[in-house]
Amino acid sequence: MDHFQFRDSELHVEDVPLSAIAESTGTPTYVYSKATFLEHLLRFQEAFAPLDPLTCFAVKSCSNISVLQLLGEHGAGMDIVSGGELQRALAAGVDPARCVYAGVGKTDEEIEFALRSGIGFFNCESSPEYRNIERIASRLGVTARIALRVNPDVDPGAHRHTTTGVRATKFGIDIEDTLAFFEAHAGSPHCELCGLHAHIGSPVREVMPYVVAVERLLATIDLLEQAGHPISTLDIGGGFAADYETGEAPPARTYAEALVPILEPRVRDGLRIILEPGRSISANAGILLARVQYVKEAGDRRFAILDAGMHTLLRPSHYDAFHFVWPCRPPAGMTPPARTREPAIPGLKNYDVVGPICETGDYIALDRPLPALERGDLIAIFGSGAYGMSMANRYNSMPLPAEVMVDGTAVHLIRRRETHEDLMSHESRVAAPASG
Ligand code: LLP
């Protein structure tokens, strides 16, 4: 599943003990495994190979340019949602024609930047946005390729914050309005309206929501084509689940087994498929490495206070998300056989694993059975490669963590830790008024 394994009673990333990374880089640090990234990308590509799709990695899940470069060099395009993400994809050497650009609030500057860069597709989310892209493309004398983002009204069974494809979310247009949209907008000399896009939410642990969404999308394509609007591209989005607990997520092959038979005949007829996986590739390719600062008890709780918290990894406090947490050097006999909420190991104690931020909601794990922890212990927070560093922030004036990528025995620093000077580098003091 990944290359973070206990060897000689110590957690290793590929061939490097985590303690060596803590020594050289400090904590908190995001640690990625190159081999895991590539394995997950490869498994995804292999599963969907019969569709010969363009697999666009969701940059928002893990945006470091070294990560994008690695995935780009192994055949991935990019799913971007801002000018900043496009800039990252370009810096990583990814061909902009292999990038798709979603997002409900694209600004004029971002649209112009994407058009000038030669973006593959705009995933357009509304009629006013379409008109705006048309206006800017016409001013630049270029043609924008557009897929309309539709809302297929399918419940993905995800957290309400990350459910995107049901009615009355801000994304896309209602699927019933698709034909009217095409009738109103198709035929513009500066916009080639030739695709449909949907993203139903994430993580989607079941296959059925995709099947229902894709069937609705294909029926809509038929409707459009009968009305004289040829559709060349169908982007079915991302949201494929990851193993936060061992065995929690269906493998890529399971999604593919359900979707390939439905889509393959269309691909034979010339439809091009785009996929936008993020977490299924990045979540287990990274851990967050942190250190216990203090252990204390209060009321009936036992707290392990880390140097990482909601500012470093927001998912637990924002979505109540589960991340498996374990010391990097567990006592003898306490090496976990699997990543689970209730490890079957005798002698564990329950801890609230919390951060240094001045909020009670600042936690990584609550009431979690763990080996006895002490000040100075190194802690691994698993499954943090997706929406970890990319959602980290500087609340309480905490500098952003470092990121390292491990390849066998080689440790590459791919983002240095921020300093206190970095924190203030965009600020200035109001100049004193000139005297006299
Ligand atoms: N495509 C679109 C249009 C998206 O909005 C997203 C995620 C993806 C693809 C990739 O989804 P993935 O395969 O990574 O699940 N911060 C939340 C997740 C928000 C997802 C937003 N959109 C989390 O930490 O779970």
- Token pair 């192994």 is found at 74
Is the minimum distance from the CB of 311 to ligand 1 under 6 angstroms? no
Residues of the chain short of pLDDT 50, as ranges, are none
Amino acid at 320: D
Q: What's the pTM value of the predicted model, to 2 decimals?
A: 0.97
Is the minimum distance from the CB of 246 to ligand 1 under 6 angstroms? no
The protein residue with its alpha carbon nearest to ligand 1, atom 8, reads 238
Q: For strands 325-327 and 272-275, give the pairing.
A: unpaired
User: Residue 31's Cα: distance from chain center in Å?
Assistant: 16
Here the tokens at position 180 are 């009217």
Q: Are 276 and 235 in contact (CB under 8 A)?
A: yes
Query: What CA–CA distance (Å, rounded) separates 110 from 322?
Result: 35
Q: Are 247 and 235 in contact (CB under 8 A)?
A: no
Query: What CA–CA distance (Å, rounded) separates 114 from 119?
Result: 5
Amino acid at 256: A
Under the phi-then-psi rule, with left for phi > 0, alpha for psi from -120 to 50, and beta for the rest, what region is 72? alpha
Here the tokens at position 432 are 């004193």
Q: Are 27 and 291 in contact (CB under 8 A)?
A: yes
Is the minimum distance from the CB of 58 to ligand 1 under 6 angstroms? yes
Predicted pLDDT of residue 160: 80
Predicted pLDDT of residue 1: 76
Q: Are 84 and 390 in contact (CB under 8 A)?
A: no
The alpha carbon of 102 and the centre of ligand 1 are apart by a number of angstroms equal to: 11
Domains by residue range for the chain, with CATH: 4-31+283-423 (2.40.37.10), 34-279 (3.20.20.10)
Is the minimum distance from the CB of 239 to ligand 1 under 6 angstroms? yes
The alpha carbon of 267 and the centre of ligand 1 are apart by a number of angstroms equal to: 25
The protein residue with its alpha carbon nearest to ligand 1, atom 19, reads 162
Here the tokens at position 381 are 């927070």
Predicted pLDDT of residue 266: 98
Q: Which uninterrupted H or E stretch holds 411?
A: strand 410-415
Query: What CA–CA distance (Å, rounded) separates 369 from 335?
Result: 13
